Structure 1
Amino acid sequence: MPHFLTLLLSSLLIIIQLHVHVHVHARFVVEKSSVSVLSPTSLKSKHDAAIANFGIPDYGGFIVGSLFYPQTGAFGCLPFQGDKPFKSNTSRPTILLLDRGDCYFALKVWNAQQAGAAVVLVMDSIDESLITMDLPEDSTEADAYVEKIRIPSAFIEKSLGTTLKEAVRNAEDVVIRLDWRESVPHPDNRVEYEFWTNSNDECGTRCNEQMDFVKSFKGHAQILEKGGYTQFTPHYITWYCPEAFRFSSQCKSQCINHGRYCAPDPEQDFGVGYEGKDIVYENLRQLCVHRVSNETNRSWVWWDFVTDFHVRCSLKDKRYTKQCAEDVMKSLNLPVDKINDCMGDPEADVENKVLKIEQEMQIGHGARGDVTILPTLVINEVQYRGKLDRTAVLKAICSGFKETEEPPICLTSDIQTDECLERNGGCWQLLQQNITACKDTFRGRVCECPVVNGVQYKGDGYTTCEAYGPARCTINNGGCWSETKNELTATACSNSDISGCKCPSGFRGDGQNCEDVDECKERLACQCEGCSCTNTWGGYHCKCSGNQVYMKDQDTCIEKSGSKVGSFLVFLVLAVVVGGGLAGYMFYKYRLRSYMDSEIMSIMSQYMPLDSQNKVESHSETETLRQGAV
């Protein structure tokens, strides 16, 4: 049953049956461009074409090109062989005609883009009214190429396609103009546009697409709004809970105001994480942010709130809370009380005035169709088709102005928003050093911790940025405590500690605030007998009574005279040692040396005759020699 309810409540749109009991049928409007055959002369004509819901249509512009029809693989479901096989022989771009069937429309266009086509026309296979070529259903395979499609495409009727195909087969030079200049009406000098979105950031590819668009288009939107060129209104789709399930635990977890306004469970699991009613309530908050800020002529603040909320309070980071949302509102100087009053009581068994209007607006009126998918952009009552690309959407909005009445941003997109000039854009800043996390870009302001003189700041950029790295103490003391007294400076910042603040020795605190420790009062020093302690800023001074000296390492006092006796004893010992050494040397030199000399002489005399003996032995030896000679 829970899984069944999840699917049921996720698919039943409010447009099927409104709570006011008005039964309606969903009305989908096909948005169109025009296709004109310029040559051959015999085929000159103008027709409607349905703009595809992917790729990038050239709103406000047109393309003239040569028509090609492939001899093989006319369905375009497989990559075309060769390098740019449909390259035109003229300077005109290539418009490729393909048959309907066998694969996704988007895959056909992707393969055509890879083969060098500038525009794709897909011809119907049956005689019927025009349909919109939509995105494939959720598919991992399709996700790989859908976001990469950059060329426009359109769907044409079978009769026109057959005529064009025959002309190409007969080797005629078929020239086509695809025109989007009248796709968006321009009744006056102000463009009104709506964006149907969702605060849920965990719904897959569509959620990522709409959030990426909001971030990238924010700067353009704010410039247009501040200049009075546009009137922007955000909208949010809500579901309702069928009467039979209104008091079930599943409906209660997904709906507010007794089942009147619902959203699917973000995790598709009723037992974990956030609930659908959390999404509804945040959607309501974002509607009230726009409504309240619009009352004070600051309607463009909605773009800042939504982007900041996505960064600071996402579902993925488990910070999707009321408190986080209110912190964002405060940083943008939004009146929290008024916004809460606007939201009303989600538990009351009554209609919510804001969400009731949303349900009514979801139903198409005039030229605009019903809103059935997210995200949906509506410009001058016409639904925008194609990828939510920043430049493409700006062109579509600009095409809604009368000629020569476009605002300057329509002529150049490289314009900065200068949001940092007002309250520093709601970002963190250090006034004393003129350091800020606010950066203006043509996409709007961003809050990003800066790098200043080689020092990196880290934090969320909105409420906190802290210096990080070895050089951090050179700028505002690394954001740590510092104080100077009596020409002495103490700091909680240390270059050896690349992050954090720590009070130095003699102080205690959290590093942002440090106070002197009274070592004397807290008996942390000078505990020796006879010691007296005097506290100093960041330290202490110990003094011993009488004729004593304080030894800090041992926290003790010793007698000054005792030190003289000790020195004398040391001197005496050294004198004895030196004297003993001298006596030993004298003994060795005179007594021991004489004894050794006599002993050596005695030994040597046994082998070496004395001088008198030498003379006798020499005489005898001479006589012997003489006798031998005879």
Structure 2
Amino acid sequence: MTRLLLAGVAAVLMGVAAEVSQTSSRLQIQIPTELFRPAGYAHQEALFGIPHYGGAIAQRLVYPGNYTDPYTLCSDSEADKFVNPAQPFILLVDRGGQDCTFVSKVRRAQHLGAAGVIIVDDRCICGDGACASAVACQPVEPIMADDGSGADITIPSFLMTKMDGNIIKSHLQANQFIQAEMTWSLPAPDDRVEWSLWTSAQDSAATAFKAEFRDVVTALGTHAYFTPHYIVYDGEEYGCRDDTNHCGNLCTNAGRYCNPDPDFDRDSGLSGADIIQETLRQKCIWLHYGGDKASKGEQGIGERWWTYVQTFSKKCGMGKFVDSSCISRAMSEAKINEKTINKCMDESGGLQGDIDNTLLSEELKEKANKSIVVIPTVYVNNVVERGGITAASVLTTICSGYAGGTEPKVCSCAGQGSSTAVKLCVRNGGKPPGGGGASGASTILGSVFAAMLVMGAAGFLYYRKSQEAMRDQVRGILAEYMPLDDMDAPGSNARVPFISHHGAGNGNAGNGGGYAAPKDTRLV
């Protein structure tokens, strides 16, 4: 059953049953004018890379291929043959190649210096009689999914149809200059952004984000409305309703709601049903502490939900995932009423018996509407977030979704290079690390002035010490060579070298009261 579920996910990823919304991006050919289309070109946007929300990339389109063999950019040898045009460019490459993912193509293009990538499909859409292809047709364009290694991709990429790609390549083959434009927009209707996170109760890829973003959510307050969603698999699609033994312990409610085995051990450890149980618990926590049944001030924020999922992940995790005492402690730390949550789980339909669970069924329906195939996934104003899910990237996208002039103070932390910088900025009341604005300049000037005072004081102390040392040296020199009458003054203990001492107090006044002058004082 685990393989069956994973195979189903893979099929969806290939685009057999899902399409990604294109409302956030647009592909256009600006030059030459005969290739311009008022509605732009049909395309799929990659689920990796970083799009320029609210911006555009309009550059020369470059195709390094020879127009007879496809340029797939699947090997370093192909990349080595590329000659950089010495100006910003968008690279056009072909889909296909042996063991070559979308991510690997775009990564090589990024290393070559491309500002963006457009991949031309190598397959026709079934039913398009005007299209010819050497490989089997496909019902829809595939999703440009992340292969799991795309976190380092920073440039955007699109997939366009084979028919449109052939038209563009024919113009390039005729040595025509083509300017392609990739644009992105994020609906910004008002002063409140609505966003959601698709995850699971056991989502290791989102653990860090959930821990980092709690303070950001609190700082956004009522300026943003958040909703968590959980991925659940429909057991009926995989034959689990007809034969519960077919799916074993992967499902609940007589095969209705399923999840793949999280530790790939069907005989011990966690089961898919365990994940579904925690999913339902976290949905109930959200409902009562962030959703419709929460107090007005908590709705869309759910601070206690964030606290619970972070505490549960840290203290229960895989080892104590179904440990009731660990779960109780996590809810207690988050100030959650355990009885209320247990009642919610039961009243929604529970997990036993051949009955529907209203909360889990809602997640199945929403998952189908959004064509969710990868977690974690973030939607902002109903547009999917591209690239890695981090506190820095998600905050930047959220802040791009406000109507002009309505951004909350925490948006001054958007655009930070790392989630750590975002965290410091949020905890500093919306002031980016290192200053920012007049208050930041005052802080810097104050620091410089304080440093100057410290350095000045240290210099003065060094000067005083050196002067004292110099005076001590002078005293030592004078003690060696001061005049004899000073040294023979009453009470003086000084002695002149090489002058004999004949005993003090012999009454010889002519010898200065105690010393006999040498017979010969000439210098030789």
TM-score band (shorter)? 0.5 to 0.7
- Counterpart in the other structure of 1:135: 145
Please give the secondary structure, in 1, of the residue aligned with 2:223: coil
Kindly name which structure, 1 or 2, has the bigger radius of gyration based on alpha carbons.
1
AA aligned opposite 1:195: L
Indicate if the aligned counterparts of 1:220 and 1:413 stay in contact, CA closer than 8 A. Answer: no
| Among candidates 321, 346, 357, match of residue 351 of structure 2 | 346
Higher relative contact order (CA 8 A, sep 6+): 2
AA aligned opposite 1:380: N
Q: CA deviation at 1:10?
A: 5.9
The answer to whether residue 205 in structure 2 is matched with residue 215 in structure 1 is no
Give the Cα–Cα distance (whole angstroms) in 2 for the partners of residues 10 and 43 of structure 1.
Answer: 41
Q: CA deviation at 1:238?
A: 3.9
Give the Cα–Cα distance (whole angstroms) in 2 for the partners of residues 355 and 81 of structure 1.
Answer: 48
Greater alpha carbon shift after TM alignment, 335-344 vs 159-168: 159-168
Q: CA deviation at 1:323?
A: 1.9
Q: CA deviation at 1:212?
A: 3.5
Deviation by residue 1:591-620 (Cα, 9 ceiling, x = unmatched):
xxxxxxxxxxxxxxxxxxxxxxxxxxxxxx
Indicate if the aligned counterparts of 2:241 and 2:256 stay in contact, CA closer than 8 A. Answer: no
Give the Cα–Cα distance (whole angstroms) in 2 for the partners of residues 124 and 27 of structure 1.
Answer: 17
Indicate if the aligned counterparts of 2:231 and 2:363 stay in contact, CA closer than 8 A. Answer: yes
- Counterpart in the other structure of 1:594: none
- Counterpart in the other structure of 1:244: 242
- Paired residue total: 384
Correspondence list, 1:165-564, <5 A:
165-181=169-185, 184-200=186-202, 207-224=203-220, 226-240=221-235, 242-246=240-244, 248=245, 251=248, 253-294=249-290, 295-296=294-295, 297-298=297-298, 299-315=302-318, 317-318=319-320, 320-344=322-346, 345-364=350-369, 369-413=370-414, 441=424
Indicate if the aligned counterparts of 1:414 and 1:442 stay in contact, CA closer than 8 A. Answer: no
Change (3 A) 1:193 1:70: same
Indicate if the aligned counterparts of 2:232 and 2:258 stay in contact, CA closer than 8 A. Answer: no
Q: CA deviation at 1:293?
A: 0.8
Q: CA deviation at 1:98?
A: 0.7
Indicate if the aligned counterparts of 2:19 and 2:143 stay in contact, CA closer than 8 A. Answer: no
- Counterpart in the other structure of 2:112: 115
Please give the secondary structure, in 2, of the residue aligned with 1:243: coil
Deviation by residue 1:511-561 (Cα, 9 ceiling, x = unmatched):
xxxxxxxxxxxxxxxxxxxxxxxxxxxxxxxxxxxxxxxxxxxxxxxxxxx
Deviation by residue 1:143-194 (Cα, 9 ceiling, x = unmatched):
5x4332221100123344334334444444432221012xx43344322222
Query: RMSD of aligned C-alpha atoms?
Result: 3.4
- Counterpart in the other structure of 1:147: 151
| Among candidates 87, 95, 100, match of residue 90 of structure 2 | 95
Change (3 A) 1:405 1:157: farther
Indicate if the aligned counterparts of 1:63 and 1:177 stay in contact, CA closer than 8 A. Answer: yes
Indicate if the aligned counterparts of 1:194 and 1:235 stay in contact, CA closer than 8 A. Answer: no
Change (3 A) 1:334 1:59: same
AA aligned opposite 2:120: M
Indicate if the aligned counterparts of 1:190 and 1:231 stay in contact, CA closer than 8 A. Answer: no
- Counterpart in the other structure of 1:76: 73
AA aligned opposite 1:272: S
- Counterpart in the other structure of 2:27: 35
Change (3 A) 1:398 1:58: same
- The runs of 5 or more residues in structure 1 that have no matched partner are 17-24, 137-141, 201-206, 416-438, 446-630
AA aligned opposite 2:152: K
Q: CA deviation at 1:229?
A: 2.5
Give the Cα–Cα distance (whole angstroms) in 2 for the partners of residues 409 and 172 of structure 1.
Answer: 47
Indicate if the aligned counterparts of 1:53 and 1:132 stay in contact, CA closer than 8 A. Answer: no
- Counterpart in the other structure of 1:589: none
Give the Cα–Cα distance (whole angstroms) in 1 for the partners of residues 180 and 8 of structure 2.
Answer: 42
Percent of aligned pairs sharing the same letter: 29
Please give the secondary structure, in 2, of the residue aligned with 1:233: strand
Q: CA deviation at 1:41?
A: 4.6
AA aligned opposite 1:68: V
Q: CA deviation at 1:398?
A: 3.3
Indicate if the aligned counterparts of 1:53 and 1:386 stay in contact, CA closer than 8 A. Answer: yes
Indicate if the aligned counterparts of 2:410 and 2:426 stay in contact, CA closer than 8 A. Answer: no
Deviation by residue 1:341-396 (Cα, 9 ceiling, x = unmatched):
112243355433322322332331xxxx3334433333333444443344333343
* TM-score, scaled relative to structure 1: 0.54
Indicate if the aligned counterparts of 1:80 and 1:112 stay in contact, CA closer than 8 A. Answer: no
Give the Cα–Cα distance (whole angstroms) in 1 for the partners of residues 337 and 308 of structure 2.
Answer: 13
Give the Cα–Cα distance (whole angstroms) in 2 for the partners of residues 232 and 163 of structure 1.
Answer: 43
Indicate if the aligned counterparts of 2:218 and 2:303 stay in contact, CA closer than 8 A. Answer: yes
* TM-score, scaled relative to structure 2: 0.64
Give the Cα–Cα distance (whole angstroms) in 1 for the partners of residues 312 and 343 of structure 2.
Answer: 20
Give the Cα–Cα distance (whole angstroms) in 2 for the partners of residues 275 and 261 of structure 1.
Answer: 13
Give the Cα–Cα distance (whole angstroms) in 2 for the partners of residues 341 and 238 of structure 1.
Answer: 24
Indicate if the aligned counterparts of 2:201 and 2:230 stay in contact, CA closer than 8 A. Answer: no
Indicate if the aligned counterparts of 1:219 and 1:442 stay in contact, CA closer than 8 A. Answer: no
- Counterpart in the other structure of 1:595: none
AA aligned opposite 2:403: K
Q: CA deviation at 1:96?
A: 0.5
The answer to whether residue 102 in structure 2 is matched with residue 105 in structure 1 is yes
Give the Cα–Cα distance (whole angstroms) in 1 for the partners of residues 271 and 225 of structure 2.
Answer: 35
AA aligned opposite 1:106: V
Indicate if the aligned counterparts of 2:232 and 2:276 stay in contact, CA closer than 8 A. Answer: no
Please give the secondary structure, in 1, of the residue aligned with 2:180: strand
Give the Cα–Cα distance (whole angstroms) in 2 for the partners of residues 99 and 249 of structure 1.
Answer: 41
Give the Cα–Cα distance (whole angstroms) in 2 for the partners of residues 130 and 62 of structure 1.
Answer: 26
Q: CA deviation at 1:44?
A: 4.2
Q: CA deviation at 1:68?
A: 1.4
Indicate if the aligned counterparts of 1:62 and 1:180 stay in contact, CA closer than 8 A. Answer: yes
Q: CA deviation at 1:76?
A: 0.8
In terms of fraction of residues, the more strand-rich structure is 1
Give the Cα–Cα distance (whole angstroms) in 1 for the partners of residues 424 and 261 of structure 2.
Answer: 36
Q: CA deviation at 1:112?
A: 0.7
